[in-house]
Amino acid sequence: MTVKLVGFSGSLRRESLNTKLLNAAASYLPDDTELQIVSIAEIPLYDGDVEAKTGVPAAVEKVKDAIAAGDGLVIASPEYNNSVPGVLKNAIDWLSRPSSDIERVFAKRPTVVIGATPGSFGTTLAQVAWLPIMRTLGTDYWNGGRMMLPKANKAFADDGSLKDEDTAERLAKFMAGFVDCVMQSRLKQK
Ligand code: FNR
């Protein structure tokens, strides 16, 4: 049976390196796996008054339903000021509302954060900063590998593929490991 991953990028930029990394991940998947990429671009700033008055916006529900319909979640996160970027944290905050729906969307969901940066450290600190958030949401965070892409501004060819074969292999191995975790999780739930 096909493994269905869902992913989104935490950057809205057209030339986003994190979106490129996520797209590359979608092209280095094991057999019988697909990665549906959804966008957080339409998610507004969180406002408790809006939630109280009109509930969770349709753009948020759409992403929540996509995550819930998948077997595992892949988030490509930039690192801002050595931590998580506000745009993506805001999206996650809306996606965690109402809290009674966290179970459906995030709980026990195999999840992993990957990241790309033009800098030298590959978003290490952002990835660490996501851990307490992922724990709070009750995700089944995959710790079997890490996918960090430093110097990412030089990593992609014009067609979006990774220029360096070793990096492509590293990404393929990482995705295979994560998909393995997703399959184990599916077996446990049966
Ligand atoms: C950055 N950038 C950055 N990079 C990094 O490796 N560590 C950091 O702490 C930061 N801090 C930071 C703060 C702010 C406000 C911005 C705008 C940028 C650089 C960042 O990695 C770079 O802009 C990436 O290209 C952002 O990801 P996308 O948009 O290419 O996916």
Q: Is 79 in the pocket of ligand 1 (CB under 6 A)?
A: yes
Q: How confident is the model at residue 189 (pLDDT cuts 50, 70, 90)?
A: confident
Model pLDDT for residues 45-91, shown as the tens digit of each residue: 999 999 999 999 999 999 999 999 999 999 999 999 999 999 999 99
pLDDT tens track for 147-177 = 999 999 999 999 999 999 999 999 999 999 9
| Per-residue model confidence as pLDDT tens digits over 95-124 | 999 999 999 999 999 999 999 999 999 999
Average pLDDT, the chain: 97
CA-nearest of 4, 45, 190, 28 to 114 is 28
* Residue 188 banded pLDDT, cuts 50, 70, 90: confident
From residue 74, give the alpha-carbon distance in Å to each of 21, 148, 157, 164.
11, 13, 22, 22
**CB distance 119 to ligand 1 below 6 Å:** yes
Q: Locate 174 and state its tokens.
A: 């990482």
Q: Which of 18, 39, 81 to mutate to test the pocket of ligand 1 (most atoms within 8 A of CB)?
A: 81
pLDDT of residue 190: 65
Report the predicted TM-score, pTM, of the whole model to 2 decimal places: 0.98
Residue 163 CB less than 6 A away from ligand 1:
no
Q: What are phi and psi of 180, to 5 degrees?
A: -60, -45
